[in-house]
Structure 1
């Protein structure tokens, strides 16, 4: 194991700085290629996990808004859904930032929505107490609706 590869396990920050210096100096033969590849792969996985996590929360809140809001509003006159609205708005904002910083994620957006929707169904069902069958089996929201700051499904 090279000194640089050992440094990866003992001082990650110094390891990253040293690899950056080597890249700038075009000293490619000295790079810790194995760990660099691992890190680059993990970065992509991390962005995808964040995308799916944000979509899960957004989808669950849109489902609750559409399928449960009216139940609560009928029972509690004061329920206005402000916290749900805030969560929907925050997740949209964070998704917009993520997609701006990692535009390559746009190519997997449909797939990520499909992945997140099943978990969003479970979360919406658990949080509302409504059976899963209350909600559509497939995502009823287009990508445009998911990212549109002004879109809220009919409650």
Structure 2
């Protein structure tokens, strides 16, 4: 998407020569100033190291969102399989919501797809512990490794008729 080269936002101080906001003092204003410099093609004035660091943080944040959605899905699947007598509709709704988030994230950031196996390996111990805590069962009552394939995590149906009423 092409962006027009805007004049410097008045709050940044770039146009007025007031000096730039320090990253340490105000991340929001600093980021807006860096964007204005990029769009104005004033590359020599950009704080390259900090911009690179922020972009790295952004990619870590996207991976974290992937892990978060997966953790919730897998935790509920483990509970579903382990305690059929305690199933609730809220587990199904939570799985659905996290699947939507996962799908949206993978649509918006397809570069995360090669990291799906890594994410699943990262989250499984936490999902297992969380399921154990919520079911009041020892962790060794759950599989040591994730028992679910990707297709199952993303598409396995859960039936509202099988929940305890």
Partner residue in 2 for 1:142: 149
Q: Which residue of 1 aligns with 2:157?
A: 151
The alpha-carbon deviation at position 124 of structure 1 amounts to 0.4
Q: For structure 1, which runs of at least 5 residues remain unmatched after alignment?
A: 73-79
Looking at structure 2, the residues matched to 46 and 25 of structure 1 have their Cα atoms a distance apart, in angstroms, of 27
2:38 aligned with 1:23, yes or no? yes
User: Aligned equivalents of 2:106 and 2:53: distance in 1?
Assistant: 23
Q: Does residue 96 of structure 2 align to residue 89 of structure 1?
A: yes
Instruction: Write out the 4+ residue segments of structure 1 that deviate beyond 2 Å after TM superposition.
Output: 9-14, 150-155
Deviation at 1:10, TM superposition (A): 2.4
Residue deviations 1:109-129 (CA, integer Å, cap 9, x gap): 111001101111100011101
Normalized per residue, which structure has more helix? 1
Q: Which TM-score applies when normalising by structure 2?
A: 0.79
With structure 1 as the length reference, what TM-score do the two structures score?
0.83
Query: Rg bigger for which structure?
Result: 2
Query: Gaps (5+ residues) in structure 2?
Result: 1-18
2:53 to 38, 60, 71: 38
